Structures are given as C-alpha cells and as structure tokens.
Amino acid sequence: MSKTETDSRAGEGLSPVAEVKSAVAGFMSELNGFHAEIQRRLQKQEEQMSRMERKSLGLQRPALATSAETEAPHMKAFDAYLRSGDDDALRGLEMDVKAMSTAVAGDGGYLVDPQTAETIRSVLASTASIRAVANVVRVEATSYDVLIDHSDVGYGWATETSGVAETGTTTIDRITIALHELSALPKASQRLLDDSAFDIEAWLAERIADKFARAEANAFVNGDGIDKPTGFLTHSVVDNAIWAWGNLGYVPTGADGDFAGGDAIIDLVYALGAQYRANGTFVMNSKTAGAVRKLKDADGRFLWSDGLAAGEPARLLGYPVLIAEDMPDVASGTTAIAFGDFGAGYTIAERPDLRVLRDPFSAKPHVLFYATKRVGGDVSDFAAIKLLKFAIS
C-alpha cells in the first residue's frame, strides 16, 4: 500500500480543517526537499567550475606581449628561426615563405613580422634624407612609371561667327623608376642569440635600419642609377635662364666657391615656379647651413630663423630646411643647395616587404642575417627642383 493511500486512510477520520493542515504540511515538506536538492546540485556544479578554473589558471603562461593573438604565433616562430634556425613553426604558418629568386620557389627566406618591419620603416622615415620630403610610393612590381604632362594645350580666341582652328596637343612623358635591391648583412654570435635577455628583433631592426638609411640617403642625392636609385644631383644641370625639360636649372651665386651676399638665395626661391614654391624646401648639409646662418639681408636681418616649436625645422626665407649630409660642401662649381617641391620633383618607389635569410654556416661561430629590400628613386618633375651653384655664372 502506498504512502498516499495510507495517509488518505489515516486521515479519513479527521475533520476538514485537520485534513487541510495535513495536506499543507505534506506540500511544504516536499517543497523543502526539492529546494534542498536544487541547492545541493548548484553547490556541486560550482565546486566543479572552481576546480576547472584553478586548473586553467595554473596552466596559463604569463602574457609576454600586447600583440594580437593572430600575430603571436608568427612572432614566436620568427624568433625561433632567428635564434636557432628552426623553421618548422614557420612552415606551418600561412604567407611565410618568400622565394629567394623569381625562378626557384623552394629556396627562400621569411617575412619579418609586422612589428619589426614597422620599426625599420619608422626609423627610415625619421632620418635626415630626401625620403622625408619626397613622394614615397609602395609598389608590387619591378618598376614604377610616372606620367608627366609638362606641356600645355594650345588655345585661341574665337568670335561668334569665325571658325575654330585646331590647337596644339599636350605631350606626356613617361619616367620609369626601376627598383633596385638594397641589402644589409649584420651578424651576431650564437652565444648572444642563445641569451634569453637579448632582444634579437630590436637589435636586427636597429642594425638594418642604420645600414639602409645611410645607403638610401646617399643614393637619393648622388646615386648613378646603376644598381641603385638615381640621385637628383646626377642629372645634368643648366643655367635656369636656358632651362629645358630633362635638366635641372641652377642659379649662380656670382662668386666662385662662395656667397656674394644673400641675393642669390632669393633668386633661387623665385626661380622656382609659383605652383611649386608653396611647398618648397631647402636641402643642404650641416657645413653649408652653418655658412647660410651668417647671411643677412640689406637691412641687417638674418635670412635664417630657427623653428619656433620643438621638432619644427629651421626656416630660410620662411621655407623649411632639410639637413641632408650627403649634399656637397660649398666649393668651386658645386651645387650645394637645392630648393624645390620634392614631393612633386622626386619619387621613391619601394616594395613594402623586407626579407631576412639566416646563415649560420658562412661565418661560424657567428650567425649572419642577410636582409634585402627593393627600392628605387628618380626625379619625376624637372621643373620642381632648382639648384644654387657656387660659381660666377
């Protein structure tokens, strides 16, 4: 006989009030039991979750960087490759392998991780180089073509009844800027690489940036165009009075190897077309800048003025001055000062990727790191740059 039947029969002799009390008491007893069972299950589940959380925290490694999780495997794999030559992790990543030559895809290096490459680009941009004021474009091809329209369309005045004659057509020139390979070959001892306290990525970025910055800065000014960019000073120069496209115009100082006052600098500024003059920049080395600082106008005021705020370049006749140490010194017949809109007048083309090959065999016990980058540069508008020549004429 069930408990319910027993309770029912046992309550047959009870009054209605007693029956209600008995039913309520039974309901409350069952409710309390159900509540206790729920509490027991919740407590058990909470204990299990606490144990799992403690176990996860115990196995978790400390955060070593603030990079995104998608970048961490690439950085870790690249660091292992630089330290020990282990490329297993790199082989498992996408976009890692880069061919060493266009013909053989099996022999290759690896892309520098984005954080290191960005460090190199920022250092290059901050160096005293034409790069700071030139037009810099990133390309994926072997060359970069600049189309220049350096002539004008013909025109004529027409009346209401007269016919319209054919006018002249503009001429478009194509300037091709070839990309050349810039390389650096720093080295480090294996013992130094094994030292966990040594920041291999910062070291590599610093060494490569220093090498590339000095090589680029010189090539953009004096490069002969053979396996390197073409510097703007290597183009032929002619007196600005007879200037023609394909040459750079110069203004003579009126004295052989010296200034004949500050008038020549004023003439240089106004030799540049008004459309370029608004974005004009002077380029010279430190020794020339020291001589220019002493020049005064007819009223005894210095032509040179220092920047009013920290980091602002000095100004000459109101235009910024870029100190590029690869510019020639003041001497007989040299073009030691340039003035122009270099954003329009000089174009630098480069591939955005940087390759690094690790060579632990050629210079044992040192490890060589062969880094390469492809870059080119040339004058893209011969009317946008003028030179000051230290000569009588």
Q: What is the pLDDT of residues 120-144, one digit of tens each?
A: 766 776 667 899 899 999 988 888 9
Q: Say how far apart CA 383 and CA 340 lie, in whole Å.
A: 9
Q: Write down the H helix ranges in the chain.
A: 3-10, 16-59, 72-84, 88-91, 114-126, 190-194, 200-222, 263-271, 274-277, 286-292, 342-345
Nearest to 393 by CA among 290, 245, 267: 267
Q: How confident is the model at residue 15 (pLDDT cuts 50, 70, 90)?
A: confident
The arithmetic mean of pLDDT across residues 178-203, rounded, is 80
What percentage of the chain carries pLDDT values higher than 70? 74
Query: 31: alpha, beta or left, given left = phi > 0 and alpha = psi -120 to 50?
Result: alpha
**Higher pLDDT among residues 299 and 89, named by residue:** 299
Give this prediction's pTM.
Answer: 0.67
As given in the structure block, the two tokens for residue 66 are 């603030």
The structure tokens listed for 384 are 């946008």
User: For residue range 347-386, what is the model confidence (pLDDT) as tens digits?
Assistant: 999 987 778 888 888 888 888 888 888 999 999 999 999 9
Mean pLDDT of the chain: 79
pLDDT at 98 over 90: no
Burial class (CB in 10 A: 0-12, 13-18, 19+), 215: middle
**What pLDDT is stored for residue 59 in this prediction?**
54
Closest-CA residue to 339 (of 295, 387, 392): 387
81 versus 19: the higher-pLDDT residue is 19
Quickly state the pLDDT bin for 308 (edges 50, 70, 90). low
CA dist 382 and 148 (Å) reads 10
Q: 350 has which bridge partners?
A: 138, 375
Q: What is the pLDDT of residue 185?
A: 85
Judge whether 338 and 221 are in contact, CB under 8 Å.
no
Query: What does residue 19 show for φ and ψ, rounded to 5 degrees?
Result: -65, -40
Tell me what pLDDT residue 330 has. Answer: 93
Looking at per-residue pLDDT, the higher value among 180 and 72 belongs to: 180
Residue type for 159, please? T
- Cα first-last separation, the chain: 130
Give the relative orientation of helices 72-84 and 114-126 as an angle to the nearest 10 degrees: 80
What CATH number should be reported for the domain whose range is 114-393? Answer: 3.30.2400.10
Overall average pLDDT of the 309-330 stretch: 87
pLDDT in tens, 342-352: 999 999 999 87
Q: Which has more pLDDT, 283 or 167? A: 283
Kindly state the percentage of the chain with pLDDT values over 90: 33
Please check the confidence at residue 7 and state whether its pLDDT lies above 80.
no
Distance CA 135, CA 342 (A): 7
**Rounded average pLDDT over 282-310:** 86
pLDDT tier, 63 (very low <50, low <70, confident <90, very high otherwise): very low
Whether a cis peptide bond, with omega within 30° of 0, leads into 186 is no
Query: Which of the two residues, 197 and 6, has the higher pLDDT score?
Result: 197
**CA–CA separation, 113 vs 111, rounded Å?**
6
